[in-house]
Copies of this chain bind each other. A is one copy, B any other.
Amino acid sequence: MEHNIDLSGYSIRTDLAVEAHELAQQQNESSISGVWLQADDSEPGIQVTRLHVQTEEAGRQLGKLPGHYLTIEVPKLRDNDTSIEEQVTKRFAVEFADFLQKLGITEDKKALVVGLGNWNVTPDALGPLVVENLLVTRHLYQIAPETVGDGYREVSALSPGVLGITGIETSEIVFGVVEKSKPDFVICVDALASRALHRVNTTIQISDTGIHPGSGVGNKRKALDKESLGVPVIAIGVPTVVFASTIVNDAITYLLGHFGQSMQESKRAFNKLAMSTLPERKEPYTEEDLPDMESRKTFMGLVGSLPEEEKRQLIHEVLRPLGQDLVVTPKEVDEFIEGVANVIATGLNRSLHRAVDEENSASYTH
């Protein structure tokens, strides 16, 4: 989870394709072409959304790379309820196995799981925590292949740390390790930022587009994707934080929307009144005929929808005392992260190794 925080060029920020799609639709007030979307709520309490960004153009509109995105949303995942966690684990394992199959990744392919993020920052520790609970087998295949039973796959894992701890770009470390250990595909697990508080710790996103941290001028950090690593890269992400500015933005947007209708009515009333003050004539007056009164300008400026630039300015004002744009996480972050890391690690163990199932998978996690 690495973010460029720069409010001067403020834009609503999300790592989730479903959120990017929602936003793009709101702004376009029409559906985006080149995007295929399927919502699956066949299982009560679990919403699965499959999104296919099919063209470069659609990708630009969404701010997401072309590729497949699968989102599992479970509002109750935040309740820290063991039976719900088991239910989500089961579904995640099925969906992930299916995702691999559609990419043509068969059972004999060797996986490297990369746990991105900083283990010292609780909301960023998801990746390293998943790695700690994986069933890792590559060394057995290397040292004593005859001891590995049927139904297992060669799996290795790595938590490369973050730039501030290592001084080395994560991508450089992963490149080096991929070259030496030669996996057939890479799975990256990372904590994400969402724009909605309600998605924090309730949503898991799987995608085949890899990881592309940050962007913009001067950013020398390289992506973790098929192009850079030479093998398919599947990203698994869970939103664990939101920008405080997002919460403020939502509040302002909602407020303006709320006032919308009565503002339109007021505007019409004002104009009708203003027109009634003009000298009578045959053809009815229209709003264009109204003189450019100062009072009217003020009023129109008020009730018109707030332009983006001014909205940004407002958010700035509200957040100014912070001196920075704070990223926040729910107070209960410790147990959320532990719970969802367990879901993903157990789910990966089951979908990567045929021999691991609901009966025995608990043995492999802590």
- Of the stretches A50-58, A87-95, A130-138, the one at the interface is A130-138
Q: Does A123 contact B (CB under 8 A)?
A: yes
* Nearest residue, chain B, Cβ from A270: B270
Residues of B within 8 A of A173 (CB): 158, 176-177, 180-181
Task: Please state if A82 and B251 are interface contacts (CB–CB under 8 Å).
Answer: no
Question: A197 vs B245: C-alpha distance in the bound complex, in angstroms?
Answer: 11
Task: Please state if B269 and A296 are interface contacts (CB–CB under 8 Å).
Answer: yes
Top 8 A-B pairs, shortest CB-CB distance: A269-B295, A176-B176, A138-B167, A156-B167, A136-B167, A251-B251, A328-B328, A82-B363
The CB with the most chain B CB atoms within 10 A, among A160, A293, A318, is that of A318
Residues of B within 8 A of A283 (CB): none
Question: Other CB < 8 Å A-B pairs besides A136-B167, A158-B173, 7 of them?
Answer: A122-B334, A136-B165, A138-B166, A179-B179, A263-B302, A326-B330, A327-B331
Residues of B within 8 A of A179 (CB): 176, 179
Question: A125 vs B157: C-alpha distance in the bound complex, in angstroms?
Answer: 19
Task: Count the copies.
Answer: 4
* Nearest residue, chain B, Cβ from A263: B302
* Nearest residue, chain B, Cβ from A250: B318
Interface size class of A (residues with CB under 8 A): 35 or more
Task: Please state if A137 and B167 are interface contacts (CB–CB under 8 Å).
Answer: yes
A350 to chain B, nearest CB (A): 16
Task: Please state if A258 and B314 are interface contacts (CB–CB under 8 Å).
Answer: yes
Question: A294 vs B160: C-alpha distance in the bound complex, in angstroms?
Answer: 66
The CB with the most chain B CB atoms within 10 A, among A168, A314, A317, is that of A168
Residues of B within 8 A of A272 (CB): 295
Task: Please state if B159 and A197 are interface contacts (CB–CB under 8 Å).
Answer: no
Residues of B within 8 A of A317 (CB): 254, 258
- Give the secondary structure class of A's interface: helix
- Of the stretches A7-15, A223-231, A273-281, the one at the interface is A273-281
**In the complex with contacts A122-B333, A137-B167, A155-B167, A255-B252 CB distance below 8 A:** yes
Which of B161, B175, B265, B318 meets A180, CB within 8 Å?
Answer: B175
Residues of B within 8 A of A75 (CB): 323
Q: Does A286 contact B (CB under 8 A)?
A: no
Q: Does A209 contact B (CB under 8 A)?
A: no
Task: Please state if B82 and A142 are interface contacts (CB–CB under 8 Å).
Answer: no
Interface string of A246-257 (1 = CB under 8 A from B): 011011101100
Question: A156 vs B274: C-alpha distance in the bound complex, in angstroms?
Answer: 71
Question: A160 vs B180: C-alpha distance in the bound complex, in angstroms?
Answer: 14
The CB with the most chain B CB atoms within 10 A, among A139, A154, A163, A265, is that of A139
**In the complex with contacts A244-B197, A266-B298, A165-B157 CB distance below 8 A:** yes
Task: Please state if B269 and A293 are interface contacts (CB–CB under 8 Å).
Answer: yes
Residues of B within 8 A of A301 (CB): 262
8 contacts between A and B (CB under 8 A): A142-B220, A156-B168, A158-B166, A196-B321, A258-B314, A266-B295, A266-B298, A273-B273
Q: Does A40 contact B (CB under 8 A)?
A: no
- A303-345 residues with Cβ-Cβ distance < 8 A to B are 314-315, 317-319, 321-323, 326-335, 338
Question: A155 vs B251: C-alpha distance in the bound complex, in angstroms?
Answer: 44
Q: Does A217 contact B (CB under 8 A)?
A: no
Residues of B within 8 A of A262 (CB): 298, 301-302
Q: Does A259 contact B (CB under 8 A)?
A: yes
**In the complex with contacts A197-B322, A251-B318, A299-B172 CB distance below 8 A:** no
